[in-house]
Chains A and B, each alone.
Chain A
Amino acid sequence: MIKKSGIGIAALTLSLLAGVMPARADFWSDAGAKYKGVVLRGVTESTPPSNYIKDVLAPEFEKKTGIKVQIETTSWDQMYDKAIKDMEAKTGIYDMVYIEQDIIYAYLARNFLVDISKSLKDDPSLKAPEFDETHFTTFANYFKNASGDLFGIPMEAFIKVYLYRTDLFSDPKIKEAFKKETGKELAPAKTHQEYTQIADFFTKYGKDSGMELWGTTAQAHTGHPASWYEFFESIAPTYGLYNWGIDAKNNYAASVANGGQMNSDKAKAAMKYWLHLRDIAPPESAASTWTEVGTTFAAGRVAQGLVYGENAAWIASDAEKSKVVGKVGVALPPTEPDVLKEVEAGKGYLGYYDGGAFGLPVTSKNKQAALLFLQFIGEDSVQPDWAVAAPRITNTATYDDPKVVAMDKKLNGYYTMLKDQGKLFAGAPPFPFHAQVREATAPIFYKILLGEVGPDEGLDQMAAAAEAELKNLGYRK
C-alpha cells in the first residue's frame, strides 16, 4: 500500500514538474515557431550536394520548424548571375546563396555576406545546441575572415584527384605490353613523365585494338572557363606554379619581367605538357568541361585522368551512371620531381581543393530564419547520409561514421585521401578579382588551345593582359 502510494506521489511530482518547466522538447520546433510561415529562398549550383539540400534537408527542416525552404538549383553561370545581381541590387530575393570557394574573397570585399559567428553570438537564442563551428574540417577556414569569423556554412568539399582504371592497370596482357614498350612496370604515375608515357601507351593501345579507349582525360573546352581552370588550378601547381603565377605581394605582378610567374618557364612547360595530353585525349575533350570529363571517364573511354572529387565518387560507385564501378583507383596527381617535397613542406599545393558553402546575404529579409537553416545543414547529425548520397565531407566526425567508412571502401580510399592528404591541396588564390582576370586572359588561352598562337607567346600575352586588367581594376599600381 505504502509502495503504491509512493509511486503515485512520484508520478504526481513528475507531472507537476513537467507542467511548470518550460517546454524544451526540441530546439528546432521552438526556434522555428517564431518564424512559422516564413519562406526562405536559396540559389545554388545544380550539384549532387545541392540537390540533396533541396530534396532532403530542406523538407526535413520544414518538418521540424515549420519554415518553408525553396532551393533553386541552376547552372554555375546562372547561379552567380542571379546571386550577384540580387546582392548588388539589394533586392533581397535570396536568403541563402551558394559561395564557391573562389568567389568568397570577392564577396567579402564587397561586404555581401552576414558574419554567421557574430550573429549567433549576438543572439544566443538562435544558436542550435548541436551546431559547432569547430566541428568543420579545415576547409571551413576558406570561409572565415581575418578575425576567424565564419561567413559560410561549408556544404561541399572535394579534391581533384588522379583517377585510374584498376582493371586496365592490373590486366596481365596490358601490363606485359606496357613493359615491352617502355621497359617499366605499369603503375599509377607519380611524375609527369610517367603519366605521359602511360597516356601515350593507352591511346596507342586503344587505337591498335580498335577500342574506344584513350590514355587520359583533358578538360580542354575551347570556349568555356573550365579549361582555363584545369590549367591554372590542376596542372600548373604540379609544376610548382601557384596562384596563377600572380604575385599579390609584388604589386600583383603576372609577368616574369615584373616579378610574376604566369609566363615563366614552369608555366610554359606545364602548358606544353597539357597540350600534348589534350592531343591524345578523346575527341570530345576539346568540348569538355568538368562535367563531360567525368562522363568520359564513367563511360570507360579513358585509362586515367584528373577528375573532380564530386564526380569521382559517382563514377566509382553509381552503376546506373557509370560503366567502371569497382574499377576505379585514386591517387595523388603526378608532379614534377621536386614539387611534392615542396608541397609537403607547406610551400605550395598539389591541386585544387574545391567546394562551397551556403552564405547569408546581408540583403536577406529573413536573416534569423536563414541562420537556423544554415546551422541545421552544418550539424554533425545530417552529415553521414549526405556524404553517402552526394559525396562530400565538411565535418571531421563524418569520416568515422560507419556508412562513410563503407563508402570509402567503395571509392577505393577517396575519403581517406581527402582526410589524410587533403592538406596538400588548396582552394583558389585569395584574389577578389577571379572572374575578371580569367575573362581578360581566357580569349588568348583559347587561341593557344586552337594553335592560333604558340604556348610561349600566348602565355606572354596572357601575363600582359592580366597585368593590364589588374591595373584597370585598380589593384596593380
Chain B
Amino acid sequence: MRSNTVGWLMLAPTIAILGIFGIIPFIYVLYVSFHQWNPFGASPDMIYNGANNFRRLVFDAEFLTSIAFTMKFAFFAVISEVALGYLLAQLFMKEFPGRGFFRTIHTLPLIVAPIVVGSVWRLMTTPSIGIIPYLLKSWFGYDLNIGRDATAAFALTVIMDIWHWTPLVTLTLLAALLALPKEPFEQAQIDGANRRQIFWHVTLPMIRPAILATVFIRLMDALRTVDEVWMLTSGGPGAATRYVGLHIWKIVFPKTDYGYGAAISVIVLYLTLVMCWLLYVALVARRERKRTF
C-alpha cells in the first residue's frame, strides 16, 4: 500500500504534465470539432453544429486528396528510411578507417530544425538558381522545376525527409544491433546458415522491436509533417504536396476555420492510431499468435 502511494507520488508530475499539455488540449480540440467557429465570420462565436464538420470532411475532395498524398508520402519515406537506416547501421557495425567521424557526420541532419532543412532544400532546388536543377540539367539534360512538376515536387519532399530522418533510424538500429548477443549468430554459422538466412531468421526477429518502434515514430512524424514541406513547396504545385498536416494548418490558421480544422485533426489522430495498430497486428501480434499455437 505504502509503495503504491510512493509510486503514484513519483508519477504525479508526469501525469500532471501529460494532463495539462496532452489530455486537456485534446479534450478541447474534440469539443471545438463539434462547433462551427470562425472568428472572422459574420458571427465570430462558437456555434454547436453536431457532427456536421465530420460529415463535411467525408465529402471534402481537398481533404481526401491530402490524405491520399500523405499516405503515399509516408509509405515511400518510411520504407526508404528504414531500409537505408538498416544498411547504414550495418555499415557502421564494421571496422573501417574514419568510422567514428562518419558516424558523427551522418547524424548532423538530425540537429537541424525542420524549417531550416526546408529552406536549404528550397535554395538548392529553386529553378535556375539551385544547384540541384543546375546539376541535373548539366549531367542529364533534365529540367527540374518544382513549381510546375508535381511528381518532382513530391519526390523531392520524400528525398528531403529521407535525408533529414534516416540518421535517426540508423542510430536506433545501430543501438539494437550492438546490443545483440553473439551466441545466436555463432550457432547459426555452425549450423551452416548463409548470410541471407542469418538476416531473416536471426537478426531480423531479434531487432524487430527496435524496427517497430522506429517505424511507429517515423510514421507518426511523416503523417504530421508540415514545416519542411511548407518551406520547400508551400504544398504545391497545386495540391501535390499539400499533406494533411499542411492542409490542417491552412484550414486552421490562414482560413481560421477552427471547428472544421479541429474535426480534421481528430480524424487524423484516429487514422494514425488505426494505422499503428494495424502495423502492430501485422508485425507482432500475428507472429505471437502463431507462436502460441
Contact = CB atoms under 8 A, between A and B. Distances in A.
A287 B231 CA distance: 11
Nearest to B143: A283
Residue of A80, A221, A449, A450 with most partner-chain B CB within 10 A: A450
B221 interface: no
Interface in A121-172: none
B238 A439 contact: no
Given A283-B128, A287-B145, A436-B256, A443 B41 contact: no
Interface range for B: 20 to 34
Interface range for A: 35 or more
* Dominant SS among interface residues on chain A: helix
Contacts of B126: 284, 287, 292
Given A110-B40, A438-B254, A473-B40, A450 B238 contact: yes
Residue of B39, B235, B255 with most partner-chain A CB within 10 A: B255
B255 A224 contact: no
Contacts of B253: 77, 80-81, 84
* Dominant SS among interface residues on chain B: loop
Interface in B237-263: 237-239, 241-242, 250-251, 253-257
Interface in A266-284: 282-284
Contacts of B147: 220-222, 284-288
B145 A435 contact: no
Given A222-B237, A223-B235, A450 B148 contact: yes
B254 A110 contact: no
Given A283-B127, A446-B236, A435 B255 contact: yes
B127 A287 contact: yes
Interface string B198-239: 000000000000000000000000000000000001111111
Contacts, number: 104
A298 to B, nearest CB: 12
A3 B120 CA distance: 79
B255 A436 contact: yes
Contacts of A474: 41-43
Contact of B239 (A224, A225, A443, A473): A443
Nearest first, the 10 A-B pairs at minimum CB distance are A223-B236, A286-B147, A474-B42, A287-B147, A222-B237, A223-B234, A283-B127, A222-B236, A439-B255, A473-B41
Interface of A: 77, 80-81, 84, 88, 106, 109-110, 212, 220-225, 282-288, 292, 301, 432-433, 435-436, 438-440, 443, 446-447, 449-450, 452, 472-475
9 contacts: A110-B40, A212-B128, A283-B145, A284-B147, A435-B255, A436-B255, A436-B257, A439-B251, A440-B255
Given A221-B236, A284-B129, 13 more contacts: A80-B253, A80-B254, A110-B39, A222-B236, A222-B238, A223-B241, A284-B147, A286-B148, A435-B256, A436-B40, A436-B255, A439-B251, A473-B40
